[in-house]
Amino acid sequence: MERDDYLAAIRPRMNEKRYIHTIGVMQTAINLAEKYGANVKSAETAAILHDIAKFSDIDWMKQIVIENGLDHRLVGWGSEILHGPVGAWIAENEFSIKDQDILNSIRFHTTGRANMSTLEKIIFVADMIEPNRTFTGVEKLRDKANEDLDKAMQACIRHSIQFLVKTKQPIYPVSIECYNDCVGKEQ
């Protein structure tokens, strides 16, 4: 499938705001892929599909996790955490994507993980800095993304963890593994 086919496929599955966000992630991810030598077509496809499960029914997502033996740590978490892994499942099973790097980029776009590939970092960072994001500090993250992908990745996961602590939200263990990896702690 080509860009327009993927875009047409995702449009009815999300609201306008999420679709506009997705276009922003796609453009940002393409720019980062060109800059950091990743496969541009893979970045485009992963970005378009990254939030495909954002509006999926929570009980259906839990069922997908259990029936398909996805990471057992996902059980008990909400759609904030489930939409990445379930999105990867949809990409593989509904869109026949076989490229594991694309699937992992969708799977880990919310939490990150230790030892991320270049494409995974690009999708994670692009999701946070795309032009429609307006949170305080986003400009600094954009500057970092222009300098160095690993520095940007570290700044983004630090920002995300800080936000979660500040808002008293539980932190998914894989997010912590990502943070430790990014700040240089061997596990």
Summarize as ranges the residues that interact with ligand GDP (CB under 6 A).
Answer: 21, 51, 54, 80-81, 109-111, 127, 160, 163-164, 169-172, 175
Q: Find out whether 55 and 15 touch, Cβ atoms under 8 Å.
A: yes
Contact of residue 108 among Fe ion, ligand GDP, none (CB under 5-8 Å per partner type): none
- Minimum CB separation of residue 146 from Fe ion in Å reads 20
Which CB atom, from 37 or from 123, has the smaller least distance to ligand GDP? Answer: 123
- Letters for 13-52 (x = contact with Fe ion by CB under 5 A, - = none) are --------------------------------------x-
Rounded Cα gap, residues 186 and 173, in angstroms: 15
Residue 28, phi then psi, degrees to nearest 5 = -65, -45
Residue 83's Cβ-side half-sphere holds a number of Cα atoms within 13 Å equal to 16
Q: Which of 179, 131, 174 is nearest to 155 (CA)?
A: 179
Name the binder of 171 from Fe ion, ligand GDP, none, CB < 5-8 A by kind: ligand GDP
Size of interface with Fe ion, in residues (CB under 5 A): 2
Q: Note whether 145 and 129 are within 8 A (CB).
A: yes
Task: Decide whether 127 or 181 has the Cβ nearer to Fe ion.
Answer: 127
